[in-house]
Amino acid sequence: MIRISNQIVKPEDLIGQISNVSHQTILKQMATYHQVYQYQTIHQLLFELAFRSNTMKAATELNNSGVKFATFRYASPNKIYWERLNNGGFLLKNDASPSIAMLDILKNGKLYAFECSTAIAIVLYIATLYSIGSTKFDYLFTRLYLMDWQFDDDLPVHQKYGNDYLPGDVLHFNNPDFDPKQPHWRAENVVYFGNDKYYGHGVGIRSASTIINFLNKKRKPNPRISAYLMNMITRPEYKAFL
């Protein structure tokens, strides 16, 4: 359910102020859960809806950008903007614009290779850029570092256990019997689109069953446990930007 300024609000009460179809879909999904989504103002809610839509937009664009999947050992960026560190992470160069460097990943995707957790970080940074604009983004993220699940303090994220999945959430497929020779397939981090659609780097935009079947092919001999969608949700602290 949705609560604004300590009052429960129904989707039909807000539809007149929300014309975007994607935002309406997210709003209606929120209202179906027992989980309370609390906001001080409608502006906070509208910002989160926009950020969630921008997360899906960024995931779609990254999927179409030509970026490649690679383990940390073989990760590579566009050296004009990023310094590749020995651990496979990418550090923004001192003279590079954070917003231009992030958008370059979409523009020149074929120059980049990384694994799925870094891909999720990239999606969330680009969604942040779309949501707050380049001026504020460049001010907040002057020394970007792309590596695994490490986020700048100005992009706080939190994890929770639950199944109140919403479009724009980051979800996680676990593969407990992964092949030790391919440890990078021990899990797949995804952006949820709703309607059984998920974006995972190296997998594409697929249904849950397709991703599970893919991961099951990356298991050790004589596996006992199928890959599965975890009841864990990762979300940015949307209100931190307001």
**pLDDT (0 to 100) of residue 73:** 95
Instruction: Give whole-number Cα distances, 158 to 123, 151, 153, 242, in Å.
Output: 16, 11, 12, 17
SS (H, E, C) 23-51: HHHHHHHHHHCCCCEEECCHHHHHHHHHH
User: What is the pLDDT, as a whole number, of residue 19?
Assistant: 87
Chain centre distance of CA 113: 17
What is d(CA 166, CA 192) in angstroms, rounded to the nearest whole number? 7
C-alpha gyration radius of the chain: 18
Average pLDDT per run of 10 along the chain, which is 242 residues long? 94 88 95 96 96 98 98 97 97 97 98 97 98 98 94 96 97 98 97 98 98 98 98 97 94
Taking each helix axis as running N to C, give the angle between helix 98-107 and helix 42-63, from 0 to 180 degrees, rounded to the nearest 10.
40
pLDDT value of residue 16: 82
Element (H, E) at 205: strand 204-206
What is the pLDDT at residue 17? 85
Domain locations along the chain: 2-241
Which long-range CB contacts under 8 A does 83-87 form with residues at least 24 apart? 85/147, 87/147
Question: Residue 2: which H helix or E strand, with range?
Answer: strand 2-4
Q: Output the pLDDT for position 15.
A: 81
> Are 201 and 70 spatial neighbours (Cβ–Cβ below 8 Å)?
no
pTM for this entry: 0.97
